[in-house]
Amino acid sequence: MKSNEIYKLFFYNIEKDYPEQLSRYIYRELGYFAQYIRNAIQSMDTSKYGMSWAKDEDITYTIYPKVVI
């Protein structure tokens, strides 16, 4: 799926209905997506894959939107 298809899927209606609030919605939705990824990584059952986690430091996930219209 290309980035413009993802944009249309998630943000097209927001852009159409609330153009002045688009950037705020994008940042909020990307924050939810980042939290989903963090939760998925943290809840992985690594033992069944013969892996183990080694946490060296706190990892911060930053997502910068690149919107091409």
Return d(Cα 32, Cα 59) in angstroms, integer.
Answer: 17
pLDDT at 36: 82
pTM: 0.40
Domain residue ranges of the chain, discontinuous segments joined by +:
1-41+57-69
**pLDDT surpasses 60 at 52:** no
* E-only strand ranges, the chain: none
In one-letter notation, the amino acid at residue 42 is: Q
Q: Percentage of residues in the chain with pLDDT exceeding 90?
A: 0
Instruction: Give me 29's structure tokens.
Output: 């939705």
